[in-house]
Amino acid sequence: MKGAKQLTGEDKAAILIFALGPEASAPLVKGMDDATLTRLGRRMAELGKIEADVLNTVVQEYLDMHRSEDPLLRTSKKDVVNLFRFAVESARADKLVHELNAPKTLTIWEKLSRLKPDMIASYIEDEHPQTIALILGNIDSSVASRVIAMLPEDMQLSVVMRMSKIESVPKELVRDIEETLEKELADMQGESGISFDGMVSVVDILKGLEKEVARPILDQLRDKDEELFTQVDRLLLVFEDLKSLSDRDIQTILKHISSDDLVKSLKGASDEVAARFFNNMSQRAAEIMKEDMDVMGPMKLADVEDAQQGVLKVIRKLDDEGAITLSSTDDMV
């Protein structure tokens, strides 16, 4: 769950509707179109744990009426379903619930961002610098920076300069590139022989399962095909996913990882992820870590990735033990 300062308008609307409950929020919901209801429904289902101070910021009156010894409130898809069933007519509610349950489709840029940087580099290095600039400008910035470092030196400056000058690109050109990437990525196969699209489908399915169901499947997959397990496991949780964790979970993680591993990991992370960790330290501790990162200088990408995988391994263990929550999936009714 984001901190109060990071909440978007949709986040705040979703929290307010959840806090009011189906009956009180029904008059508000009835006036919304289906697209808006679907977006807010997804946000409610994805918010997961809502820290008391966040709820206090969004709607103080609600917090005053619902204080308890438990410092956390938790939204789930059940709340969304109850809201839709109460607020709108049956046929429309069924349609909205169906759309809410539909698996989230990753865009081509999100798919690329989950590939290893060296795979992206080898895939695009023969393209025109302008095309490379357009592709890297649309994927996660922390991944793009690693890819640029792997390109031939004579191409790096050309790509960076073109990226800096990109202002507006014809929609037709972007669409053509997206369609080409989708087709070629669907045909691309990993070390295990499974296509990347197939891999994404597997990951999406596993993410939608309860932990108690997904874990035995992963354990069996590890025993039968260790290479495939490794690829799927890496896609299930990437370092950028940590930006969506709650402050409490970040603080728990900080207690279980070494400063050295975190410094190395943050060297290759986006500013948003780094800020999530810095904001959950004391000001002095954050300043020391930033200084350590500056003093450390450039690092090999392989070393950064190794450090990040080490941190993610600890995080997975904490999630298995129930110390933190990586997923907010709940059973539907």
Whole-angstrom distance, CA of residue 94 vs CA of residue 92: 5
Q: Quick one: pLDDT at residue 253?
A: 94
3-state SS, residue 163: helix
pTM, whole model, 2 decimals?
Answer: 0.46
Please name every residue paired with 73 in a beta bridge, in sequence order, or none if there are none: 50
- From the list 25, 4, 3, the residue with the least C-alpha distance to 16 is 25
Q: Quick one: pLDDT at residue 244?
A: 83
| Contact indicator for 279, 3 with CB cutoff of 8 Å | yes
Please name every residue paired with 72 in a beta bridge, in sequence order, or none if there are none: 51
Q: What is the pLDDT of residues 45-79, one digit of tens each?
A: 887 777 777 877 776 544 544 444 444 455 566 66
Whole-angstrom distance, CA of residue 287 vs CA of residue 283: 6
Going from N- to C-terminal start, the domains of the chain cover 4-101, 108-188, 242-328
Mean pLDDT of 219-230: 81
60 vs 28, which has greater pLDDT?
A: 28
Q: Compute CA distances 74 → 12, 80, 328, 333, whole Å.
A: 15, 12, 9, 17
- CATH code: domain 242-328 is 1.10.220.30
Residue 23 has pLDDT above 60, yes or no: yes
Whole-angstrom distance, CA of residue 83 vs CA of residue 26: 7
The CATH fold of domain 108-188: Annexin V; domain 1 (1.10.220)
Q: What is the pLDDT of residues 179-193, one digit of tens each?
A: 888 777 666 555 444
